[in-house]
């Protein structure tokens, strides 16, 4: 099944490739990774088709995701993420090491943010205590993308957000000068502000200048 999946995805992407568009896509993302040059609507069509190759077990699911992820083009990594999301019965704590590998290996926002908010985020929602404890280590990780995952892993949790952890992580990482951390602090706070605006306002006010201007602006964007 996996070999058939990879062969089908390669053939479909090749058929839809636009070599003239590919360099601009790579330039936009500041990556040397090659693109086929497949535009979003066509990429969605390939992604939908890939879901017909259904894994028979969690082990086969992981093998299929890893096989897609290992392909050389950016679009294949996008399909790997969407394929992983498609089979929700396997988006469990047992798959968490796979998702963290993808975060570390992807190491850029266009890959990490989907993985963190939709895959890690679902596991976190389902296994709040276990993943919350793990996230306490992620926020200390040497990889800024793992730290970013700790910040944005609860983006979709709304009223179920562990706000104490969200605020603690935001305060603990507020000193960082890295753009992707500062942006993630503001993004995660802004998203939670849709559920508890007063708590976010109070936190931002209490942090004062310890939060970067970017984090503050993002956090309060819809709360002014």
Sign of CA pseudo-dihedral 75, 78, 82, 84: positive
- What pLDDT score was predicted for residue 222? 87
Average confidence (pLDDT) over 174-192: 98
- What pLDDT score was predicted for residue 223? 87
Question: If you average pLDDT over every residue of the chain, what do you get?
Answer: 97
Nearest C-alpha neighbor of 96 from the set 83, 115, 75: 115
Nearest C-alpha neighbor of 131 from the set 157, 167, 158: 157
Distance CA 150, CA 144 (A): 10
| Cβ neighbours of residue 55 closer than 8 Å, sequence gap 6 or more | 1, 61, 63, 64, 87, 90
Percent over 70 (pLDDT), the chain? 100
Count Cβ atoms within 10 A of the Cβ of residue 209 and give its class: 0-12 exposed, 13-18 middle, 19 or more buried: exposed
Residue 144: how many CA atoms within 13 Å on its side-chain side?
A: 13
* pLDDT tens profile 7-39: 999 999 999 999 999 999 999 999 999 999 999
- What pLDDT score was predicted for residue 144? 98
Domains in the chain with CATH codes: 1-90 (1.25.10.90), 128-224 (1.25.10.90)
Confidence of residue 198 (pLDDT cuts 50, 70, 90): very high
- What pLDDT score was predicted for residue 21? 96
Given a cut of 80, whether residue 118 has pLDDT beyond it is: yes
Given a cut of 90, whether residue 56 has pLDDT beyond it is: yes
Average confidence (pLDDT) over 174-195: 97
* pLDDT tens profile 65-116: 999 999 999 999 999 999 999 999 999 999 999 999 999 999 999 999 999 9
Percent over 90 (pLDDT), the chain? 98
With contact defined as beta carbons under 8 Å apart, do 179 and 214 qualify? yes
């Amino acid at each position: 099944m996996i070999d058939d999946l990879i062969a089908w995805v390669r053939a479909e992407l090749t058929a839809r490739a636009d070599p003239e568009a590919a360099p601009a896509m790579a330039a936009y993302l500041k990556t040397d990774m090659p693109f086929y040059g497949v535009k979003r609507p066509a990429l969605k069509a390939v992604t939908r088709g890939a879901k017909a190759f259904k894994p028979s077990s969690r082990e086969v699911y992981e093998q299929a995701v890893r096989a897609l992820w290992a392909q050389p083009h950016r679009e294949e990594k996008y399909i790997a993420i969407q394929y992983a999301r498609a089979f929700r019965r396997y988006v469990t704590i047992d798959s968490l090491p796979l998702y963290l590998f993808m975060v570390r290996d992807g190491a850029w926002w266009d890959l990490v943010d989907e993985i963190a908010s939709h895959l890690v985020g679902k596991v976190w929602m389902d296994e709040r205590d276990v993943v919350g404890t793990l996230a306490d280590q992620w926020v200390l990780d040497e990889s800024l993308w793992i730290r970013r995952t700790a910040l944005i892993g609860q983006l979709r949790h709304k009223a179920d957000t562990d706000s104490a952890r969200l605020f603690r992580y935001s305060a603990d990482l507020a000193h960082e000068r890295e753009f992707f951390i500062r942006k993630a602090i503001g993004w995660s706070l802004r998203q939670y502000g849709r559920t508890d605006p007063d708590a976010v306002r109070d936190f931002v006010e209490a942090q004062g200048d310890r939060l970067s201007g970017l984090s503050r602006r993002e956090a309060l964007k819809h709360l002014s």
